[in-house]
Amino acid sequence: MAPLRIVYISISGNTEAFVEKVAELAAKEHAKNADKPLVEAFEYSEQFDERIFDQPYFVFVPTYLDGGDGIHTGYHEILTIDLRDELDAANTANMLGIVGSGNRNFNAQFGLTAKHYARRFNTPLIGLYELRGNDEEAALIYGRMQKYAHNYQLSGKKLALA
């Protein structure tokens, strides 16, 4: 299987730490079984190469909102808007899934940016993890990424929400 591509943005370092955890797990699994895919990670920045969107990819986003409770107020994304705008112009037919992070203490706001992206880009939300994530969350997300990539490889189409 081709490597699993992750496009991510990390403001505080938590998303990057989790992406590294998933990539390390993938490398260990691949060392035991060459059929298990590796992970290629691409951090979004001003120098980002949009050609990455020409191949299947997953998007990992943190949740930064403008305050409030996430239901009546505080559901406007901040700090990750540049990535969202980049994705608006990208080939989202190759976007296989969204993974989000946040802090469970924020209740309804937990993972809200990822939930918004899933709806906006008609792409499955394949998982949420808290802060820097743990090994169990990394294994769960890696397994789901493999499943979604395998489905895409067989059908030539991403799974969609609608």
Q: Tokens 């990390």 identify what position?
A: 10
- One DSSP character per residue, 91-109 reads -GGGEEEEEEEE-GGGGGG
Identify the pLDDT of residue 159. 83
Residue-wise pLDDT for 53-74, tens only, equals 999 999 999 987 666 665 666 5
Identify whether 47 is part of a domain: yes
pTM of the model: 0.92
Identify whether 91 is part of a domain: yes
Count how many Cα atoms sit within 13 Å of the Cα of residue 126 in the half-sphere of its side chain: 27
Identify whether 88 is part of a domain: yes
CB 99 within 8 A of CB 129: yes
Identify whether 161 is part of a domain: no
Residue-wise pLDDT for 87-129, tens only, equals 999 999 999 999 999 888 877 788 888 998 999 999 999 999 9
Give the confidence band of 76 by pLDDT, cuts at 50, 70, 90: low
- Asked whether residue 162 carries a pLDDT value surpassing 60, the answer given is no
Identify whether 160 is part of a domain: no
**pLDDT, averaged across the chain:** 90
Task: Give 57's strand partners.
Answer: 95
Q: Annotate 32-74 with three-state secondary structure.
A: HCCCCCCEEEEECCCCCCHHHHHCCEEEEECCCECCCCCCCCC
Backbone angles phi, psi at 89, to 5 degrees: -95, -5
Identify the CATH number of the domain in which residue 21 sits.
3.40.50.360
- Segment 127-152 mean pLDDT: 96
Identify the pLDDT of residue 160. 75
The structural domain count of the chain equals 1
Distance CA 15, CA 24 (A): 14
Identify the pLDDT of residue 129. 95
Identify whether 162 is part of a domain: no
Identify the pLDDT of residue 46. 85
Identify whether 125 is part of a domain: yes
Supply the range of the domain harboring residue 122.
4-155
In terms of C-beta density within 10 A (0-12 exposed, 13-18 middle, 19 or more buried), how is residue 58 classed?
A: buried
Identify whether 11 is part of a domain: yes
In terms of C-beta density within 10 A (0-12 exposed, 13-18 middle, 19 or more buried), how is residue 132 classed?
A: middle
